[in-house]
Structure 1
Amino acid sequence: MIPGWLLLSAAAVLLAGYLGAESRLHRRGDRWPVGRSAAAVGAVAAVAGAGLWPVRGAVDDTVVHLLVTMLAPLLLALSAPVSLLLRTAPARVRAAVLVVLHSRWARFATRLPVATALEAGGLYVYYLVPVPPVLHGLLMVHMVAAGWLFSAVLVGPDPVPHRPGILPRAAALLVVFAAHDVLAKLLYARGGGAGAQLLAYGGDVVEVATAVALFGRWYVRVRPRPGRAVHPAAR
């Protein structure tokens, strides 16, 4: 488990960096969507809440897991941190970020099957594989990164190489939904009790929120507007 002080420090750094970049954008006279700022604040609140949460048992561990590795990555993806960085960072930093975005690694990691496997696989390793305690922190970091990557591919406004259409993304979300549900049932069968139930119900809430974001963004993109024809494939 990641120490609480480290989570609080990460929340403070994330909030300071995001608000600082947004402030530079506003000083230039540019605008930034309020919804993205709200998502960033929500991600920070989720991480800070996990850092402040007293961990006394399996239920508390599940709460921290849900906040840090599921809710915070979704909100972070919705806040579009990469787009904000590209609009406010110095030229050298922007060039480095673009190199990473166009690299083979980025193209591989953002492929939908890869992002889906990373998102679902980390959970099973964390809960079912006897990983040494010293590696728990690294595994949590992996799950946060995988959750953000998966959410960014599905619903994030940041640029993603070869983002697939709505149907493959919806199918990937169903796969992760099922994987989380099966894992929760396995843990419950092994005596997980309230912690396994919380993992199931809490995971469902985050995944339903992801589905709302996914189909909401799709609807905004394809809804009929005056003077614009609707593509037959979008009907």
Structure 2
Amino acid sequence: MILPLTAHEPAPLAGVAALALAYAALAARPGPRRWSRWRTASFVTGCALLALALAVPIGTGFPAHMAQHLLIGMLAPTALVLGAPMTLVLRSLPPPYARRVTAVLRRGPVRVLGHPVTALLLSTGGMAALYCTPLYRLSQTGMLPHHLLHLHFLLAGYLFAWSVAGPDPAPRRPSVPFRLVVLGVAVAVHAGLAQLMYAGLLVDVPAPPGELRAAAELMYYGGDLAELLLALALVTTWRPVKQPELTKSELVN
């Protein structure tokens, strides 16, 4: 049975506030190089988007859920990732501890988890499972499954944004063209699922047709916006390898 969840709990909001304050405190610490204000602004923006999503009262309709999904799973993670929090933590740690953290990031499980294809499967696969199986109904039966759903959105979205365009250290990150292809697949999956939802096909969501269509439009256009921002973040870091110019003798030969 789906319970009428109509309120939010303050604990997640307090956690977001604590996260923003901790980041700001580390960024303000004196050091040989001043921490980027742009990075700080990006991370704080991500926290603000996350807080906005969590402040939306639960049970206000399926379009509101979709707006939360976009904020928690796509827009907020992109802004958080571009804040480079791991780099900030590493530079704030004593060198021995920073080396230990870096060593953990190079281990096999992290390589698998941080690969763009793995992140793609966790992000888009989880979304398809949510809307095409009874999982969405289950998430509406209590506060715990609802918060677990939000946690999955956030972690999967953060992992995907980090694996595609994150400035933080990553183990053996694939080439930029490869990551652009992965991002293109994510765009196609989101668009396809939004179209199915708009038509009311293959989705298991107990919502009126009008709400389904409104949520589908949010997913379609809002998802495009989030992925466009991620693509821009990726291409701005692309430094194509320049081929050496041929000499006259090489051209003749």
Residue-by-residue CA offset, 1:53-90 (whole Å, 9 max, x unaligned): 23411111111111111111111111111110100034
For residues 132-151 of structure 1, what are the structure 2 equivalents within 5 Å? 132-133=138-139, 134-151=144-161
2:129 to 120, 125, 128: 125
2:13 is the alignment partner of 1:8: yes
Distance 2:18 2:101 in 1: 19
Question: Secondary structure of 1:83's partner?
Answer: helix
Q: Which secondary structure does the structure 2 equivalent of 1:232 belong to?
A: coil
How many residue pairs match? The answer is: 222
| Larger relative helix fraction | 1
Residue 113 of structure 1: aligned partner: 117
* Residues 1-235 of structure 1 mapped to structure 2, 5 A cutoff: 3-24=8-29, 27-55=30-58, 56-90=60-94, 93-131=97-135, 132-133=138-139, 134-190=144-200, 191=209, 192-218=212-238, 221-222=239-240, 231-232=242-243
TM-score norm. by structure 2 comes to 0.81
CA distance in 2, matches of 1:94, 1:15: 21
Q: Which moved more, 1:68-77 or 1:1-10?
A: 1-10
Greater CA radius of gyration, 1 or 2? 2
**CA distance in structure 2 between the aligned counterparts of 1:165 and 1:159, rounded to whole angstroms:** 15
CA contact (8 A) 2:8 2:55 kept: no
What is the SS of the residue equivalent to 1:202? Answer: helix
Q: Shift in Å at residue 116 of structure 1? A: 1.4
Q: Provide runs of 4+ in structure 1 moved above 3 Å.
A: 1-4, 90-93
In structure 2, what is the Cα distance between the partners aligned to 1:138 and 1:96?
30
Q: C-alpha separation between the residues in 1 aligned to 2:195 and 2:178?
A: 26
> Percent of counterpart pairs with the same letter?
36
Unaligned runs of 5+ in 1: 223-229
Unaligned runs of 5+ in 2: 201-208, 245-253
CA distance in 2, matches of 1:195, 1:12: 28
